[in-house]
Structure 1
Amino acid sequence: MAHHYPELAERVTRQADELPELYGDFDFAVTPERFTTDPGVKSALLTRLGDRSRYLNDPRLLELVHTSTFLADVPADRVAALATRYPVAELVSLVRRVCREGAENVPEAPPEIAELIAVMQEKPDWINFDLVEDGATYSRLYAALVSPFMTRGAFLATFTNSYAALPMTITGALSGTRAAHRVNETTAYFAVTALPGGLERFSAGFEATVMVRLMHSMVRFNALQRTGRGHNSKKRTWDTRIYGLPVPQIDQFPAGMIGPYQKADKAVRANRELPYDERAMVEFHRYRGYLLGLPEELLPGSPREIVDLFNARAATLRHGYDDECRKLVTSTMNAYLRPSGSTFDRAADAVEKSYSKLAFAAAFCEGNLKKAADMGVDLSVNDFARAAVTAPLLTGRFAAVRIAGKVPVLQDVADQYITALVKRRLDDYGIPAYTTDSREYAH
């Protein structure tokens, strides 16, 4: 019984009635193996992030994470379910046309697409919209000068746990050359939404958000079609008793709020509040998360709430790391992300990989290089050398632009420089497709 989040629990329960063809026979009463509160079972929470017992003894946080483990995205799932009636390419084309032209100008598009976009156009009263654009400006700085060197390492977070990584495993979306495509798609998404007006209705960022949301729903839809429903089904590749709901909203929270989490964690450790620009950045991320389908409960605004939810999810996610995870990590780390094979692009790729390896080792291995190697990420002397040589240039440029952005007479010039740089980055990343096709799945 829900004591702390009854509305969220009711939303989960309604899913079976709202989309019976997908959730009608899904047993929301069975806690999947991935969720554990057993103190004797190893979880995904790293030791340096805090005492696990603190989260296991917090009934409010446990209820939130448990309930959100069953939370899907019905408006987007309805569109994904149209894949039984439309070829994937045609469905994607219709979604993109509605995004660009408006539903009233695409009469042949099914109403589910317009309904999804209508939901996204609602303005929640718990978002401070006065801060969103300033938050985008702050995020744009990182998208231009930091993310290109860190996104690959952060992208790997999903693959350090076999329970959360399974959707990418069954789709085969990160095998071979497709790994580079997916990493660039992710980087492009965070960049394009940070552009001026990047979350407005007819912006490229809004369309990208619709497509990312739909992609997650299509993975969820296709995975559930492969449950087999029977214990002995040879076609079953997704066991709901083990993995629960595919791509639950609780798994969307870390990717959408990783930036705010990093700032919030530092603020909590220093026992201070966030300064204005970081508060604005948090609000921008919250709004983007809302557009991606996350509820208010999974988009906290205070530093302590952000840190607690982030760590509570990890504290209840059963540890798991298998060969499939290692393959995902290795293929992603080895992927070549640059647009050409020029000397400059090869050098830039090598530098970015070195930073990504270091970020991975620090974030997921607590600096243990042997553990990183066991997980598929080998660091060499060259990686440390590249970082040491380029760090002064990269940090110096970031500091210079950051300072210029605080000087009234230079603010516009600094933002114009950053915006132009983000757009050049987008040219490098290529045109994101944000699609998934079950015919291409690995299993």
Structure 2
Amino acid sequence: MIVEDEAIVALDIRNRLMNMGYTITSVHSTGESAVKAALKDQPDLVLMDIMLDGPMDGIETAGAIRKEQLVPIIYLTAYADDTTLQRAKLTGPFGYIIKPFEDRELAINIEMAMYKHRMEVRMRENERWLGTTLKSIGDGVIATDPEGFIRFVNPVAALYLGTQNGDLTGKKLTSVFQLEQMNSPSHERPTAQPGPGIPEDGDYLLLGHERKIPINLKVSPIQGNQGILRGSVIVFRDETERFENERALQLSVEQLTATLQETVNALVATSEKRDPYTAGHQQRVAELACAIAKKAGLTPDECEGLRVGALLHDLGKIYVPAEILSKPSRLTDMEMGIMKTHSEVGFDIVKAIPFPWPVSRMVLEHHERLDGSGYPNGLDGSSILREARIISVADVVEAMSSHRPYRAALGVERALGEIKRNRGVMYEPEYVDICLELFSKGFAFTLS
């Protein structure tokens, strides 16, 4: 569309444009008719003279058209004074050509204006898509400038902050987004650091409500040219349901742990009822075995599994007749053969229990020896479970230190001498050394 008050000039521009291959929607000499025609014809571009017939000049006409529709406008004028240029800038022109001009200059300006317009339309569409997406997602989204002032808040974030979107724009983030730390921030830090007052990734309690809302928060710094921080985007999600589920799961785990502990205690009590002379033996073995394991670097969870295995290591003795268990003299070969079955019997009892540790193997292998002289399977070296190797050291020391029906206690010194003498032969050297060190530093069984 051409807007030019001089008919001859308007005709010349029309002919030149048609020779370039452009289609002219209409030609106007007044601003009023140009505004109406622009709304009706929807031209792709407007060539606008600044001096027009009627009360509206070209700048006012351009402003009225741009107010109603996104169309590129190029000024064609003989006026280039500063005042006119400043007024023209306010309308966002896509070009400013001083009369007279050549066809080449006009063609270049039109092509550049159309390209710039396409980019502007695409950018606005992208912004519209992005804005719609951010407004429709279920997470809260807040964008800030480099100084920590809010530039954008989606409806979800506004809802959690108890206000409307527009009420937050321009405010300092720290004044409306108040958090209480729930855990340590993530150790994975972004390349660009967030601006002032911007929290780090992690779990927080969002304050300022009737209740504190647990949220998970992620921060993404926006980097400009040369890594300059342009702002930050904060995305947070209500984690109330997750934390409630975690609390319920934790309670369930605690209840299961308590049940498991009581089950173990019941099995231990049943075993020791059959053999009153060794009452407390399994607890004392567990005490020493755990002390050795801790020094050997086992994790707390591994130590707990070892403790359970040590408490149950002699469970199979409930199968051994009471007269053999309490016999006040040395056992015959047949009686000893029956006694040695307790490892396998204990294994059969606990193997079906879904312990989170290899408890059944500890029970089965605690009498195996490094040189293969143990029972029931004559295992040797590393084929014996690590925990079973620890229990075997603790078992020998405790058994020799305590009274038995057929003999008096031999004492700790003789017990330590036994494992020292067979260090590397029957018993794991590392665990023997730790055991000796523990007693040298005052270790004593706390259970009588």
Compute the TM-score of the two structures, normalised by the length of structure 2.
0.20
Compute the TM-score of the two structures, normalised by the length of structure 1.
0.20
Kindly indicate whether structure 1 or structure 2 has the higher relative contact order, using CA contacts under 8 Å at least 6 residues apart: 1
Greater percentage in helix: 1
